[in-house]
A and B are shown apart, each in its own frame.
Chain A
Amino acid sequence: MRGEIIKELRYAVRSGRLLILFASFLFFALLTPVMLKVVLPMVLSGQLAGEAAQGIGGLTDMTQLDCIRNYMDDVLQIGTIIIAFTLCGLTASEIRDHTWVLPICAGKRFGRMLGAKLLVFGTLMTVIPVLALLADYGYSGLLFGFEIGVLPILYGGVLQGIYVLFLLSCLIMWGVLMKRPIPAGFMTLATAFGIHFVSSLLNIQSWTPSGLLAQAQKLTPSLASLLLPLSVTIVVMVFMITLTLSRLRRMEWNVRGTH
């Protein structure tokens, strides 16, 4: 599997995917504290004058914790979109562009090829949110004053990373089912936001991967409340990857006009 891992690492670096993802996450991590500390009060005071402005100013008094939670909320919305469209070609492009034909004929196994994608992009997408969250933690601490320790931040970052693994599994599955990158990206967004919306509406977040994000935002490590969403997420991911492998094994390759 070493060869497959090196190939995915090269793809992440040389296609610029890694840079796009890292820059996007870092941008939001650093932008959120500035927005909340400087831009938001300025905008509000510009809109209102005198006592009203002072009153609103009081309402916009933010803490480091608020700032971090705000960023985590942004990551759920914008980060999901960025991930979905940056990595939508992970499997779909391989099928559409027939780039898997030669590796398959050379004896490469689907399990290893998918495993390498999950491992490389899963690791990168776990590390990037953690690094971005640490950057947000440091910068918001400088602007608002440090309120919490690093450990809860690492905890939140890792949970976000696991949620991103769920997104990756979605992208891999939809890529194989749709065989085209952009529709795969849209289906991933529909799945992620659909689950989030329905679970919020029915108040069953703990039973869905969205529960991981809710736990991450609490920033208070608790194994008991984490167990359910984590187990559900792992089961869903295993199901999606199994479905993907089964579809790949039944697929016909190099057929004109079918992809």
Chain B
Amino acid sequence: MQMISVKGLVKDFGSFRALNGLDMQVKAGEIYGFIGQNGAGKTTTMNILAGLSRPAQGECNVNGRDVTKLTHPGDLNIGYLPEDPKFYPWMTAQETLVYLSGVRKTGHIGDILRWTGLMEAQDRRVGGFSRGMKQRLGIGAALIRNPQLLILDEPSSALDPEGRSEVLHLIKELKNMGKTIVVSTHILDDVERVCDTVGMINAGKMMFEKPLAQLQKESAQPLFDITPVSSVRPEILDEMKMLPGVVSLTKTAKAFTIKAVDKEVSVSVMGFLAEHGIVIESFSLRKARLEDLFLQEVNGK
């Protein structure tokens, strides 16, 4: 069952096209990691998914509702955590949750306070909370209507390692409760730690959308980081790309990285380098990570 189905989403801010035909599919019960560089269109997408912003074109179905026909964001009945959640600083944590729930203090609010680790701070004003506490309260606020779908925009990006770890732990627990969670982030390590599926946006378009396991399988292919003494001519690099077993070649400022089907390809790569008289400073083998795939997509295949 699809919790989110997005097709050809377009969003303009004046002359700037923030989303350029974005497609996205999120299945029920999964943690979907939405990755991309700053300014790629992550928050714009999250705002549209939460019903806070309207697309110029495209289809967008969230939690069984057509977002383009929505009259009020609250009708989506989802939980949303903005990148920087803003609370009333003069309210306590408990008052905030009671206000957002629209009912008097209930067991559910007590559960949320306990679960987010804010029970002891429930009577403290939010203005005095640390960033991590605000983020946990934000997750609690997103859970106030016990929604099946949670959209979390950069929930851990501004936190210290301890705060990040706490938030990731909460996200994992939410999945265990059967919730569907969409997490946008540019911290790829977080994605590798919690997500089931990864979608990558670049310049307002979805570059890929794959299960994490598949990505990890793909990224299990070895990478050879090669640093030549002097720069290599582009036509030689193009030739190298055609070698058997070479999946891709990415050039950086002083080096280039070859992604290969297996380690045996190193023999033909070394032979090719020797054949063309390319003196190398270093030749190292490493296992690819999500970050390599990300950089590969951002820099172009």
Contacts and interface: CB of A to CB of B under 8 A. Distances in A.
A10 B74 contact: no
A239 interface: no
B72 A103 contact: no
Q: How large is the interface on B (under 10, 10 to 19, 20 to 34, 35 or more residues)?
A: 35 or more
B118 interface: no
B45 to A, nearest CB: 12
Contacts of B43: 254, 256
A253 B53 contact: yes
B220 to A, nearest CB: 37
Interface in B1-53: 13, 43, 47, 50-53
A252 interface: yes
A97 interface: yes
Given A7-B88, A108-B74, A249-B71, A102 B138 contact: yes
Q: Is the interface of B mostly helix, strand, loop or mixed?
A: loop
A102 B99 CA distance: 11
B224 interface: no
A106 B51 CA distance: 12
Given A106-B144, A107-B145, A253 B47 contact: yes
A7 B95 CA distance: 9
B77 interface: yes
B98 interface: yes
A134 B141 CA distance: 45
Given A11-B90, A254-B82, A256-B43, A109 B100 contact: no
A14 B138 CA distance: 22
Contact of B86 (A6, A10, A98, A107): A98
Interface of A: 3-4, 6-7, 10-11, 14-15, 97-99, 101-110, 249, 252-256
* Across the A-B interface, the 6 shortest Cβ-Cβ residue pairs: A107-B74, A253-B52, A14-B90, A106-B100, A105-B80, A98-B86
